[in-house]
Amino acid sequence: MSLIVTGTIGIDTIQTPDGTQRDDVLGGSGIYFAAAASFFNPVRLVAVVGEDFPAEHRAVFDRFPNLDAGGLEVRAGAKTFRWGGRYLDNMDHRDTMFTELGVLGEKPPVVPDAFRDSRYVFLANGHPATQLGFLEQFPECTLSVADTMDLWINTARDDLETLLGRVDGLVLNYDEAELFTGKRNTVAAGKHLLEHGPRFVVIKKGEHGALLVHRDGVTALPAYPAEIVVDPTGAGDSFAGGMMGHLASLGASGHQGDPASLRSIHRAMAFGTVIASFTIESFSLERLSSLDSGEVEERLDEFARMVRVDEGA
Residue 110 sits at φ, ψ, to 5 deg, of -90, 140
List the domain range (segments joined by +) for residue 267: 3-307
The mean pLDDT of the chain is: 94
Query: Is residue 1 over pLDDT 80?
Result: no
Identify the pLDDT of residue 157: 95
- Has residue 283 been placed in a domain? yes
1-10, 13-22, 83-92, 205-214: segment of lowest average pLDDT: 83-92
Average pLDDT over residues 126-142: 93
Average pLDDT over residues 119-140: 93
Query: Is residue 18 over pLDDT 90?
Result: no
Identify the pLDDT of residue 126: 87
- Has residue 226 been placed in a domain? yes
Identify the pLDDT of residue 89: 83
Each residue's pLDDT tens digit, 55-64: 999 999 999 9
Identify the pLDDT of residue 256: 67
Identify the pLDDT of residue 308: 85
Identify the pLDDT of residue 41: 97
- Has residue 257 been placed in a domain? yes
Identify the pLDDT of residue 92: 74
Q: Which amino acid is at 228?
A: I
Average pLDDT over residues 197-202: 98
CA distance 234 to 177: 19
Identify the pLDDT of residue 217: 98
- Has residue 313 been placed in a domain? no
Identify the pLDDT of residue 311: 62
CA dihedral 47, 53, 58, 60 (to 10 degrees): -100
- Has residue 90 been placed in a domain? yes
* CB of 244 closer than 8 Å to CB of 211: no
Identify the pLDDT of residue 253: 62
Residue 36, Cβ density class (10 Å: 0-12 exposed, 13-18 middle, ≥19 buried)? buried
Q: Give the count of domains, the chain.
A: 1
Average pLDDT over residues 157-169: 97
Each residue's pLDDT tens digit, 67-119: 999 999 999 999 999 999 999 887 777 889 999 999 988 999 999 999 999 99
Average pLDDT over residues 289-296: 96
Each residue's pLDDT tens digit, 231-281: 999 999 999 999 999 999 997 666 667 899 999 999 999 999 999 999 999
Identify the pLDDT of residue 128: 93
Name every residue whose Cβ is closer than 8 Å to that of residue 266 and which is 6 or more positions away in sequence: 212, 219, 221
CA distance 224 to 304: 10
- Cut 0.85: pTM above it: yes
- Has residue 109 been placed in a domain? yes
- Has residue 277 been placed in a domain? yes
Instruction: CATH number of the domain at 123, please.
Output: 3.40.1190.20
Identify the pLDDT of residue 204: 95
Query: Is residue 19 over pLDDT 90?
Result: no
- Has residue 255 been placed in a domain? yes
CA distance 205 to 101: 27
Query: Is residue 30 over pLDDT 60?
Result: yes
